[in-house]
Every structure is written in C-alpha cells, then in structure tokens.
Amino acid sequence: MKHSESTHAHREVDFERRRKLMVALWARGSQFFGGLWEATYGSVGEQTIYAWQGATSTLTEQQLATGVRGLEKWQDKYPPTFGQFRALCTAQDQVRSNAIGVGHQLTHQVDRQAVKHIAEQELAKMRALAGLE
C-alpha cells in the first residue's frame, strides 16, 4: 500500500469514528433535552450533524466527552448553541489556564482529576453507544 493510500484509509477510519461519536452525541443530546435537541438540530440523518462533525474535528475525544458531561448539567431548557457546546468541551482547558494563571495549582489538580474522571466515564458511554468498544 502506498503512503497516499494509507493516509486516505486512515482519514476514512477517523471520519467514520468521528461520525459514530457524533451519533452518540446526538443520542445523549436527545436523552438530556428530549425532542428539543432534534427540533433544534435535526435528526441524525440531517446535515447539521455533518456540520458539527466537521466543526468538532479539532476537538479531542476527551474534550467531546467533557462537552457531553456539560450538556447533562446545562441549566437552560433549550440545548446550547454550537458555540456554547464547544465552550463546554474546552471548559477543562480554560479552568487549567485560569488556575495556573492565579496560582491555584492544588485546587486545579483536584478539579482536573475530577473532570478527567467524569469525562472518561462519559467517553466510555459515548464509545459504547457508538459501538467502538
């Protein structure tokens, strides 16, 4: 197999894996918000999920799991916008930056471990829903 063929095959696997994670995200969003999730963003087969898939391509699976955990705690009755969801995904990163910036490293370490543990649990649920485990 040539390098370009190998790279193309790798991209297809990554695309399919990300697609499965987005389907799992849609399922979790529907669990948390009922019909409002699909009323806002459409069903799994509609274009919005592809837009989210592309727009989240720079996020790690860990960040996506953190975002899904944030959906569970979302206070508004309406689902977050994509921008708000992305902020939920990167909230752990922002906490880390802020904590280091003001010298709260010990508190940050405890918070980071708790968030990491929760995100890992959420990621396992998403992978199971997506059939990746």
Distances (CA, A) of 75 to 33, 90, 105, 128, 130: 11, 18, 28, 26, 26
**How confident is the model at residue 85, as a pLDDT?**
94
In angstroms, how far is CA 133 from the centroid of its own chain?
Answer: 17
Q: Give the model confidence (pLDDT) of 88-106 as tens digits.
A: 999 876 554 444 444 455 4
The rounded distance, in Å, linking the Cα atoms of 26 and 37 is 8
pLDDT digits (tens, 9 = 90+) for 25-84: 999 999 999 999 999 999 888 888 889 998 998 999 999 999 999 998 899 999 999 999
Specify the pTM. Answer: 0.65
pLDDT value, residue 75: 92
pLDDT digits (tens, 9 = 90+) for 112-127: 666 676 677 777 887 8
